[in-house]
Structures are given as structure tokens and as C-alpha cells.
Amino acid sequence: MAQQVVMKNTGLRGVAVADTKVSFIDGEKGILIYRGFRIEDLAEHSTFLEVAFLLLNGTLPTRKESSDFEAQVLKARPLPPYLLESLRHWPREARPMDVLQASVPMLAMAEPELAEESRGANVGMATRLIARIPAAVAAWHRIRQGLDPLPPDDSLSHAANFLWQLHGKKPDDEAAHDLDVCLILHADHTFNASTFACREVASTRAHMYAAVTAGIGALSGSLHGGANAEVMKMLMELENEKDIPGWVASRLQSGSRIMGMGHAVYKTMDPRAKYLKQMAQRLGKKTGQSRWHELSTEIEQTALKAFAEKGKTEIQPNVDFFSAPVYHIMGIPRDLMTPIFAISRVSGWCSHIIEEKFAEAQEKPQLYRPQAEYVGRYCGLMGCEWEPPEARTDA
Ligand code: ACO
């Protein structure tokens, strides 16, 4: 019987619950590594699909593996007609993350390998999810505007095809490359809340679609992936604000958080934020929208100073702080910013789900089953006395 370790109300900070070979973070130095490779190198030299292959399989693909994987993704891009038909009947005001979370089990319904327990079958399911999640996000955005979803264009890369299916306009190479780099930077991040949710569901031997659905729900929260949309809300509200130091001070004084800052693991600037900050600056200059980079930098610097005065130098920008202005400049609506995170993170989720299911014997995790300390009503082991409704009094 395992010894009971009490880690109540700590959000499991600092507790290692499993082994992983998928990714590694050095929170003190601000380093993120996927399968041994620094994200900066991957962002510089790889494509998102190459990185997805790396995460799923453990090695960078050869030319043949790369073209085979791309061909499988391309083949899987079209959504099943019943899903497209169903989306047309959903309330137009539905949140895109809810729509995405509801769409994934619908994809499971036509999944030919759902009952297969092999690693190969799970990689196949992962490949189809990587192909179809962007298609579902784009289809919903078109349908909610009263437009028809667009078929995929086989001549376009993963990121370019998403932008085409979303906007109905083929992006230039630079725009497609920038989005591809964003997808690389968001692809995996060890045991974050949504990945843990996926792994927890996978530990019950539920199928990959069930596990990914849980991950989407966890990602939607504003303390996790939902923070990018909250950052954009803040930037829009502060667009004409003259007194940023006053705003930051009153926000902190009231106990509210500055969204996009702080991290459970990084004690320095998130390496993804560094990259995205430069991208926001470059895209701002290119498109005449430098104000978003300038405003976010002003908030960042003011908040850093305020945190430092409280001795909290570890609260620094995270990935969401500068991805928001980047996506905004790219023409992505605010409520699609978190779904774009999901388009990328599905590659990491699926890699962790496969690891959860197929790790070697000595590293294989068990069904997650933590304990809780009961602090509720207690009348002894015989239980409280049951009373009929007429004998109960209002509280
Ligand atoms: N603004 C103001 N204060 C903050 C912030 C922030 N962004 N982040 C942490 N703090 C403060 C807390 O209020 C707390 O103060 P206290 O000790 O005086 O009560 C202290 O720092 C520790 O905060 P915790 O939430 O306990 O610790 P942690 O560092 O684990 O928090 C978290 C990480 C939840 C991400 C937090 O920094 C936060 O809420 N940030 C804003 C939301 C956000 O950007 N989320 C995205 C994270 S990245 C991702 O998931 C993709």
C-alpha cells in the first residue's frame, strides 16, 4: 500500500506524477525542449507537421516519413459531412471552444480504428485529429457568419490551409510561415493542466478522442489557454488608456491578475513569449499596427516593475501575453485565439496520450486515483439520521 502523501490545495505544483519523454522545461533558465530539441531550433528550421511527427514518434522524420505523414494529414482534412451538417444547426453565438469540444466526440463516431488498442492505430487517430481540428475551427467560424465551410486546398501547407479555410483568402508565404511558427511554439508543454487532463482520461483506457475532448475543456479556462483571449480583451480595453501605471496599480491592489503573466513552472520569461514578442513587433511594423506591440510592452514593463517592488520577480510574461497581439494582427478574432492554441496543442496531447497508453513497463503510469481529505458533514460511520422531507427545516 502506497504511503499517503498530503499535497492538498497545491495544484500538485512540484509533484512528479509520471515519467515522460515528450518534452522538458527548465523553469529557472526559461528553456523548453521537445524530444531533445530546443524550441528555438525547431521554430527556426522545422515545420509544424515535422514537429508533430517528432512529438508523436520521438524522432524527426526522414524526407520519406515527412511526405508520408503530410499525405496522411492531407487525406484526413475533409470533415465528415454529418459533422458539417450538424454544425449548421448549433446556436451561432456558441463559443468556439465549446463547439470544438463538442465536435471531437462527433469525429470519434466515424473513426475506423476506435476499437484498436495498438500504438499504430493511436498514431493514426492522432494524425486525423491534427488534420481535422483546424478544419472544425474554420468551418464553425464560417458557419456562424452565415457562410459555407470551404473545402481544403491540397496545394497549401497545414497553416496556410487553415487560414484559407478560415478567411477564404490564400495567405502569403510569410503569413503562413508565421502561423506555422506559432503552432510549433504551442505544440507541447509537459504536464500542463490540459495535457494532464488528457493523460488522466487516457489512464482509464478511454480512447484518444475522449481524452482530447477533456484536454479542450481544460484548455478553455482563463488561467490556462483561455488567457490569450483575456489578454486581447485587456489590450482592447486599454487601447486609449493614458495611465497604464495607474491601471496596473489598481488592478494589483484589487487582487486581480494581469492576464498573460506568471507561470506555474517558469520563474523567468517564458521562451515562447520572447519569440512571440519579436514576432508582434515585426508584424506590427509590417502591417502598420505597431500600437499592439507598444501597448503590450508598456503593460509588461509596468507590471514587471510593480511585481519586482513586491519581490515577485518570477511573474513574467507567459506564452499568451504576446500571442494575443500576434493573432490579432494576423486577423484572428479574439474568440478563436484559444482554439488556435488547441490546433497546435493537439499534437502534444496525442503524444502524451500515446505515452500514457504505451509506455514501457517500468515507466508505465497507473490509473490516476488521488485521494482527498473529507472535510464535509460527518456523523460517525453509521451516517447521519435520514429524515423525510416534511421533517427537514430550511437552512
Ligand atoms: N497577476 C497578478 N498576480 C499574480 C499573477 C498575475 N498574472 N500570477 C501570479 N500572481 C500572484 C498571485 O496572486 C499569488 O499572490 P499571493 O501569493 O500574494 O497570493 C502569487 O503570485 C502566486 O500565484 P499562484 O497562482 O499561486 O501561483 P502560480 O505561479 O502557480 O500561478 C498562474 C500560475 C495560475 C498561471 C498565474 O500566474 C496566473 O493566474 N496568471 C494569469 C493567467 C495566465 O496568464 N494564464 C496562462 C498561463 S500559461 C498557459 O497556461 C498556457
Q: Residue 2 pLDDT more than 70?
A: no
Cα(172)–Cα(160) distance, integer angstroms = 8
**Model pLDDT for residues 66-112, shown as the tens digit of each residue:** 999 999 999 999 999 999 999 999 999 999 999 999 999 999 999 99
Give a yes or no: residue 4 inside a domain: no
Domain that holds residue 82: 23-226+336-358
pLDDT value of position 18 = 93
Q: Are residues 273 and 197 in the same domain?
A: no
Q: Are residues 204 and 241 in the same domain?
A: no
Q: How many other C-beta atoms lie within 10 A of the C-beta of residue 335?
A: 15
User: What one-character DSSP code corresponds to residue 317?
Assistant: B
154 a catalytic residue: no
Give a yes or no: residue 303 inside a domain: yes
Q: What is the CATH number of the domain that holds 109?
A: 1.10.580.10
Q: Whose CA is closest to atom 41 on ligand 1?
A: 259
Q: Are residues 193 and 168 in the same domain?
A: yes
Give a yes or no: residue 133 inside a domain: yes
Task: Show the DSSP H helices in 46-118 as ranges.
Answer: 48-57, 63-76, 81-87, 96-108
Q: Residue 1 pLDDT more than 60?
A: no
CB 139 within 8 A of CB 86: no
The per-residue DSSP string of 217-276 comes to HHHTSTTTTTHHHHHHHHHHHTTT-S-HHHHHHHHHHTT---TTB--SS-SS--HHHHHH
Cα(208)–Cα(198) distance, integer angstroms = 8
Give a yes or no: residue 368 inside a domain: no
Cα(334)–Cα(314) distance, integer angstroms = 28
CA 261 to ligand 1 centroid distance, Å: 7
Q: Are residues 121 and 255 in the same domain?
A: no
Q: How many other C-beta atoms lie within 10 A of the C-beta of residue 180?
A: 23
Which grid coordinates belong to 229?
A: 483571449
Q: Are residues 134 and 247 in the same domain?
A: no
Residue whose grid cell is 509588461: 300
Q: Are residues 29 and 142 in the same domain?
A: yes
CA distances from 390 to 170, 377, 384, 385, 386 (A): 68, 21, 17, 14, 12
Percent of the chain exceeding pLDDT 90 equals: 95
pLDDT value of position 33 = 98
Q: How many other C-beta atoms lie within 10 A of the C-beta of residue 4?
A: 7
Mean pLDDT of the chain, nearest integer = 96
**Model pLDDT for residues 321-366, shown as the tens digit of each residue:** 999 999 999 999 999 999 999 999 999 999 999 999 999 888 888 9
Q: Are residues 189 and 290 in the same domain?
A: no
Give a yes or no: residue 365 inside a domain: no
The one-letter amino acid code at 42 reads L
Cα(129)–Cα(208) distance, integer angstroms = 9
pTM for the complete prediction? 0.96
Buried b (16+ CB within 10 A) or exposed e, 98-128: ebbbbbbebbbeebebeeeeeeebbbbbbbb
Q: Are residues 114 and 173 in the same domain?
A: yes
Q: What is the CATH number of the domain that holds 303?
A: 1.10.230.10
394 a catalytic residue: no
Which grid coordinates belong to 310?
A: 513586491
- Mutate-to-test residue for ligand 1 from 257, 318, 337, 338, highest number of ligand atoms within 8 A of CB: 257
Under the banding of pLDDT at 50, 70 and 90, the label for residue 237 is very high
- Which one has a higher pLDDT value, 132 or 3? 132
**Model pLDDT for residues 374-385, shown as the tens digit of each residue:** 999 999 999 999
Boundary-marking domain end, from 328, 346, 366 = 328
Q: Are residues 165 and 262 in the same domain?
A: no
Give every CB contact of residue 292 below 8 A, 6+ residues apart in sequence. 235, 280, 284, 325, 328, 329
Residue whose grid cell is 457562410: 147
Give a yes or no: residue 394 inside a domain: no
Give a yes or no: residue 194 inside a domain: yes
For Cα atoms 126, 323, 95, give the angle at the middle one, nearest 5 degrees. Answer: 65
**Model pLDDT for residues 201-226, shown as the tens digit of each residue:** 999 999 999 999 999 999 999 999 99
**Model pLDDT for residues 159-174, shown as the tens digit of each residue:** 999 999 999 999 999 9
Under the banding of pLDDT at 50, 70 and 90, the label for residue 395 is confident
Q: Are residues 153 and 247 in the same domain?
A: no
Q: How many other C-beta atoms lie within 10 A of the C-beta of residue 93?
A: 6
Ligand 1 in reach of 334 Cβ (< 6 A): no
Q: How many other C-beta atoms lie within 10 A of the C-beta of residue 206?
A: 16
Q: Are residues 150 and 215 in the same domain?
A: yes
Residue whose grid cell is 506559432: 182
Boundary-marking domain end, from 307, 328, 349 = 328
Q: Are residues 112 and 255 in the same domain?
A: no
Give every CB contact of residue 1 below 8 A, 6+ residues apart in sequence. none
CA distances from 330 to 260, 281, 296, 387 (A): 19, 12, 16, 62
- Looking at the structure of the chain, the number of domains it has is 2
Give every CB contact of residue 344 below 8 A, 6+ residues apart in sequence. 48, 182, 183, 184, 185, 186, 187
pLDDT value of position 394 = 85
Catalytic residue, chosen from 141, 207, 224, 263, is: 263
- Mutate-to-test residue for ligand 1 from 182, 250, 312, 321, highest number of ligand atoms within 8 A of CB: 312
Give a yes or no: residue 372 inside a domain: no
pLDDT value of position 62 = 98
Q: Whose CA is closest to atom 27 on ligand 1?
A: 264
